[in-house]
């Protein structure tokens, strides 16, 4: 197992659109293992491969209270079941320290490959649906700050760039 480095906004690599996974091999299983370790250590409720600079369509999440329910989605495709929106104050490990309200569909269906290579379908709601949409956005090069005002986004970018300069 290994802890992976998480890219931070406004790193342009976070804008990369990830490529589908053609087959679940040992490499993918090892990456998922490292992503879960990195997510739990952060700590976070989800992590997309894009955030650790791997541009393949893989994400992990665990929204359980006891942090004992890891979920892995490979090549996830989202379908909106019901366009009713819900609002939630979102954060992101790639935008550390900032939280903003985002509106997203409350109920979604996701088709994906599980780690054993099976095609699966799941219906999600609540925090699972929010988190999955947030993670699939990462795989498409999008961040939750894209949904807020350009003024707020610019302020967050300036503050994070300053912190990143101080760290360097």
β partners of residue 104: 86
Number of residues that bind Ni ion (CB under 5 A): 1
Chosen residue from 35, 60, 93, 129 binding ligand GNR by CB under 6 A: 93
- For residue 91, the minimal CB distance to ligand GNR (Å) is 5
Q: Where are the alpha helices (DSSP H) in the chain?
A: 26-41, 126-139, 150-167
Give 5's contacts (C-beta < 8 A, 6+ positions apart).
52, 53
Closest to 127 (Cα-Cα) out of 149, 155, 146, 104: 104
Question: Would you say 75 or 94 has its CB closer to ligand GNR?
Answer: 94
Residue 51 to residue 90: CA distance in whole angstroms: 16
- For residue 44, the minimal CB distance to ligand GNR (Å) is 3
Site for ligand GNR in 131-160 (CB under 6 A): 131, 134-135, 138
Q: Which stretch binds ligand GNR (CB under 6 A): 28-36, 116-124, 128-136, 152-160?
A: 128-136
Q: Does 56 bind ligand GNR (CB under 6 A)?
A: no
105 binds, among Ni ion, ligand GNR, none (CB under 5 to 8 A by kind): none
Q: Does 90 bind ligand GNR (CB under 6 A)?
A: yes
Give 52's contacts (C-beta < 8 A, 6+ positions apart).
4, 5, 6, 7, 34, 35, 38
Q: Catalytic: 100?
A: no
Instruction: Answer whether 139's CB lies under 8 Å from 59's CB.
Output: yes
Question: Would you say 59 or 113 has its CB closer to ligand GNR?
Answer: 59
- The label of the residue with tokens 């955030």 reads 51
Q: Does 92 bind Ni ion (CB under 5 A)?
A: yes
- For residue 156, the minimal CB distance to Ni ion (Å) is 13
Give the residue numbers annotated as catalytic, written as ranges: 135
């Amino acid at each position: 197992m290994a802890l992976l480095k998480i890219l931070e906004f406004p790193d342009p690599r976070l804008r990369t659109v990830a490529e589908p996974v053609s087959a679940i091999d040992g490499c993918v299983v090892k990456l998922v293992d490292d992503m879960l370790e990195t997510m739990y250590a952060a700590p976070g409720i989800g992590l997309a491969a894009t955030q650790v600079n791997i541009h393949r369509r893989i994400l992990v999440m665990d929204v359980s209270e006891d942090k004992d329910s890891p979920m892995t989605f490979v090549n996830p495709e989202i379908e909106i079941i019901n366009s009713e929106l819900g609002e939630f104050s979102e954060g992101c490990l790639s935008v550390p320290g900032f939280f903003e309200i985002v509106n997203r569909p409350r109920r979604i269906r996701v088709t994906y490959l599980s780690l054993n290579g099976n095609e699966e379908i799941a219906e999600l709601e609540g925090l699972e649906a929010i988190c999955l949409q947030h993670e699939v956005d990462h795989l498409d090069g999008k961040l939750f700050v894209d949904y807020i005002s350009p003024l707020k986004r610019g302020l967050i970018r300036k503050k994070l760039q300053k912190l990143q300069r101080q760290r360097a």
